[in-house]
């Protein structure tokens, strides 16, 4: 735009030139102002929380990038929120973040019918939160052993269901075996030469070798022995977000009261349940209220009665495999 503006001012000559120059200046200023307004609008669109006056993110909306100490009449009209990834929203019943009760969410939230928060949001905080990456779960009985080209189960990988007699592409051209995932109940015998010859070692659990270990990068073949019967693997894992995402915690014992998972700051949105490790969830602490038996991975949808309502859990409640 600037070069064009300069060209117009040079070409204008003679009578009326001053008016044409002024027209160009006006045009330049208008374009500049529109650009600035567009930039400001884009900045608003990048806010962390958008509040809506209608359920399911409908109706009038306002976008916020910082906490609101007094939401005014708009706050009482709020029926749903969209929350940007990496942020936490906490709503309060009084101005200046006061009130005896509060509720926090880290994902989009539409108030359910009959929610006590309808017509009662006076202020809310917007905070940046750190969500660590979800650690990979241990393999389940349906998985096969997996070899990896890097330590800590990273890089190119290959499943070895029926054993591995050796191949050039895993002997340094381009890969070497640096770590191995071993599902529970499986046994692997490692060999220093192809076709199950040379020095050998047996492993029954996952291993990621440190640099300098003798076997690191020297495995040339692997015998695989399958488990004789399915074995429950790992512990049930609860997640703060749907589809097994967000903050997570393994359940190694019964939980009569799920501290930090009753909405302060997390709700249970999904659960991984290993084969043979059924759990019973309850809507109140100390195994009271409604109950529901969960025998496999479970991720209730928003609107499902159990969505975010689990307050205590018993594990290993069903018959166990012999």
- Exposed e or buried b for every residue in 25-56, given b needs 16+ CB within 10 A? eeeeeeeeeeeeeeeeeeeeeebbbbbbeeee
Report the pLDDT value the prediction gives residue 104, as an integer from 0 to 100.
76
What band does 184 get if pLDDT is binned at 50, 70 and 90?
confident
Other Cβ atoms less than 10 A from the Cβ of 314: the count is 18
Identify the residue with better confidence: 78 or 209. 78
pTM listed for this prediction: 0.33
Q: Name the residue with higher pLDDT: 164 or 217.
A: 164
Confidence of residue 228 (pLDDT cuts 50, 70, 90): low
Residue of 99 and 6 predicted with greater confidence? 99
Confidence of residue 39 (pLDDT cuts 50, 70, 90): very low
- What pLDDT sits at residue 265? 73
pLDDT, position 244: 85
CA distances to 127, 139, 183, 205 from 232, rounded to whole Å, are 39, 10, 10, 14
Least confident of 91-100, 112-121, 128-137, 224-233: 128-137
Please tell me the predicted confidence (pLDDT) of residue 249: 84
Write the DSSP symbol of residue 300. P
Q: Which pLDDT tens digit goes with each residue over 283-299?
A: 998 899 999 999 889 98
Q: Give rounded-to-5 percent helix, strand, coil for the chain.
A: 15, 35, 50
| Cα angle 251, 252, 254; round to 5 | 75
Average pLDDT, the chain: 76
What's residue 6's pLDDT? Answer: 38
What is the predicted pLDDT for the residue at 213? 63
**Which of 6-10, 137-141, 241-245, 309-313 has the highest mean predicted lDDT (pLDDT)?**
309-313
* Size of the chain, expressed as the number of residues it contains: 322
């Amino acid at each position: 735009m600037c070069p064009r503006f300069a060209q117009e001012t040079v070409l204008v000559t003679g009578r009326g030139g001053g008016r044409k120059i002024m027209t160009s200046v006006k045009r330049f200023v208008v374009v500049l102002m529109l650009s600035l307004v567009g930039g400001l609008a884009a900045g608003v669109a990048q806010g962390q929380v958008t509040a809506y006056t209608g359920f399911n993110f409908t109706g009038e909306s306002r976008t916020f990038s910082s906490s609101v100490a007094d939401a005014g009449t708009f706050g009482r009209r709020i029926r749903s929120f969209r929350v940007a990834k990496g942020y936490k929203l906490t709503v309060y019943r009084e101005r200046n973040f006061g009130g005896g009760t509060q509720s926090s969410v880290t994902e989009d939230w539409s108030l359910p019918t009959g929610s006590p928060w309808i017509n009662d949001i006076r202020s809310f905080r917007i905070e940046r939160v750190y969500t660590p990456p979800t650690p990979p779960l241990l393999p389940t009985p349906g998985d096969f052993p997996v070899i990896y080209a890097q330590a800590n189960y990273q890089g190119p990988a290959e499943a070895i269901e029926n054993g591995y007699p050796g191949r050039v592409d895993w002997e340094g051209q381009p890969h070497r075996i640096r770590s191995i995932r071993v599902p529970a109940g499986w046994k692997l015998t490692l060999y220093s030469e192809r076709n199950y010859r040379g020095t050998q070692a047996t492993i029954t659990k996952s291993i990621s070798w440190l640099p300098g270990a003798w076997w690191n990068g020297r495995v040339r073949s692997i015998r695989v022995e399958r488990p004789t019967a399915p074995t429950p693997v790992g512990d049930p894992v609860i997640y703060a977000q749907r589809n097994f995402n967000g903050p997570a915690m393994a359940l190694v014992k019964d939980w009569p009261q799920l501290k930090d998972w009753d909405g302060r700051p997390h709700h249970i949105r999904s659960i991984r349940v290993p084969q043979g490790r059924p759990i019973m969830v309850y809507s109140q602490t100390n195994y009271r209220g409604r109950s529901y038996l969960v025998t496999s991975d479970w991720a209730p949808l928003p609107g499902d009665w159990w969505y975010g309502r689990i307050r205590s859990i018993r594990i290993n409640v069903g018959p166990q495999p012999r």
